[in-house]
A and B are shown apart, each in its own frame.
Chain A
Amino acid sequence: MTGPLDYLKETASQTAGPYVHIGLAPGAAGFDIYREELGWDIAGPDPKGQRIRVEGLVIDGMGSPVKDVLLEAWQANADGIYAHPEGGGAVEDGFRGWGRVITDFDTGEWGFDTVKPGPVRSRVKLASGVSERVSAADPDWQGRMESHAPMAPHINLWIVARGINLGLNTRMYFDDEAEANAADPVLNLIEWKQRRATLIARRDGDRDGVPVYRFDIRLQGDAETVFFDV
């Protein structure tokens, strides 16, 4: 007879419900309460790199836009550094790397302004750290080399809404980073190559000199977006 391990258990998730905006974006719910709502300014006043706009829809299994969704974005700066103590270094003042957006209640369109993230840097040097440990005798060495490659530029997204019981995690990559995407260790985890395309935002012209990327998220059905268990 063995006793139980004494770990606590993670609190169970529940849907954010239809009125998530009250708590997380009260201005959008129709009233002002806080000095400052959080999440409107992802990159801060003076970010390095290329400013971009990201736009899209979240589409349900019937093909209809979801009009009460809330998305959060988490991304590195243009140097591939996250604004976090373990993020790989220092970021520019005011760069938070986190944003929160809601959809237009009538159209379901969402969008945010940010900068294009850089590739997230490798913490293990490919030249020495990994190659010293692998050898031709290890049949999987090439795969392991790949798995230590830096990741292509991407924005991590988390999606909650009425009808979604546990927040959905996905990633947005960029269609003008084809070479980096082809080497990306996460995209290459997806066995079904045609599904990788669901994670790649399409450059959709410029607006006021700022590149616009289109990223529609399909919750279910044909071309369902890849979601991750992180």
Chain B
Amino acid sequence: MKPAEYYQRDRSRHPPALTPGYKTSVARSPRYSLIALQQSLSEITGPVFGHDDIDPIDNDLIQNYAKEADPVGERIIIHGRVLDENAQPVPDTLVEIWQANASGRYRHKKDTYLGALDPNFGGCGRTLSDESGYYVFRTIKPGAYPWRNTINSWRPAHIHLSVFGRSFSQRLITQLYFEGDPLIPLCPIVNTIPDPDAIDRLIARLDMNATVPLDSIAYRFDIVLRGRRSTLFENRLEGN
């Protein structure tokens, strides 16, 4: 069997481009329909990363920017697997995360929120999934923060995630939320997603089994990328 194209993206699971409740999307969303493109080599290939590209400490946000002490906040582990829609593990794929600190403040020159910066916290990490698609980060639980959408909009605590997969067509950026956060149903960005089940899958679950006693509490978050067809027949990729 030869692997072929990736399954068509189910756009009913994703937010549409135009979501007026999230105001910035109004001027940044295309008005014409997307052109459907059968996949060619350009789409079924994508960048490959290796352990030479990153350092082992890169997935530890408690240590990777600590200058004099550990950062302040709730010590957490975020872990899970990167799978495809066929429930197959996606090994050796680059997972990158970024987040605010415990005050909800980002280490970014454009963030002017009065929540304090933490001198020992950078807020970004990256890792490669292992052969079973497993990944793990250690970090500080981010705080909620205000943003200028409506006058009183607050983002739920969240961690941004970027995943590559094996092909450029699997490329995905999303956000991880935390179980039980009452801001989740209020958030205009969360609510860009029309499917309640799709929202639910963005909520990391408290995972007591992975918690390190007297050290760090753990959350479980599995990531699903597009699956890929296999075919007994020679597949004629467009442009090939």
Contacts and interface: CB of A to CB of B under 8 A. Distances in A.
Contacts of A61: 26-29, 31
Interface string A1-32: 00000111111111111111111101001110
A96 interface: yes
A120 B40 contact: yes
B240 to A, nearest CB: 4
A13 B202 CA distance: 9
Contacts of A149: 239
B56 to A, nearest CB: 11
A19 B239 contact: no
A112 to B, nearest CB: 14
B132 interface: no
A26 B189 CA distance: 23
Contact of B174 (A12, A18, A31): A12
A20 B124 CA distance: 10
A116 to B, nearest CB: 15
A160 B96 CA distance: 15
Interface stretch (B71-79, B209-217, B222-230): B222-230
B172 interface: yes
A160 B126 CA distance: 18
Interface residues of A, number: 86
A138 B75 CA distance: 65
A118 B223 CA distance: 34
Interface of B: 9-11, 13-17, 19, 22, 24-32, 34-37, 39-49, 53-55, 58, 64-65, 83-87, 94, 96-98, 106-111, 122-124, 126, 160, 162, 168-169, 171-175, 189-190, 192-193, 195, 197-199, 201-202, 223-227, 236-240
A229 B36 contact: yes
Contact of B169 (A84, A96, A165, A230): A230
14 contacts: A12-B14, A15-B24, A19-B111, A24-B162, A33-B122, A64-B27, A84-B47, A97-B47, A156-B43, A186-B37, A195-B32, A219-B30, A228-B35, A229-B9
Contact of A96 (B11, B47, B124, B226): B47
Interface string A61-99: 110101010001010100000111111100000001110
Contacts of A156: 42-43, 168
B31 A158 contact: no
Contacts of A38: 49, 53, 94
A226 B35 CA distance: 7
A16 B47 contact: no
A133 B150 CA distance: 60
A60 B107 contact: no
Contacts of A29: 107-109
Contacts of A6: 87
Given A38-B49, A82-B45, A10 B98 contact: no
Interface in A198-230: 219-221, 224-230
B45 A7 contact: no
A68 B108 CA distance: 12
A167 B28 CA distance: 11
A14 B37 contact: no
Contacts of B171: 72, 158, 167
Contacts of B199: 12
Nearest to A171: B42
A150 interface: yes
A180 to B, nearest CB: 12
A230 B37 contact: yes
Contact of A10 (B16, B85, B106, B189): B85
A170 to B, nearest CB: 10
Most chain B Cβ neighbours within 10 Å, of A8, A16, A74, A151: A8
Contact of A17 (B126, B160, B168): B160
A124 interface: yes
A165 B25 contact: yes
Given A10-B85, A61-B29, A228-B35, 19 more contacts: A6-B87, A8-B83, A8-B85, A10-B13, A12-B15, A12-B195, A13-B14, A15-B189, A22-B98, A31-B107, A34-B58, A60-B28, A68-B110, A74-B46, A87-B41, A151-B239, A165-B22, A186-B37, A220-B28
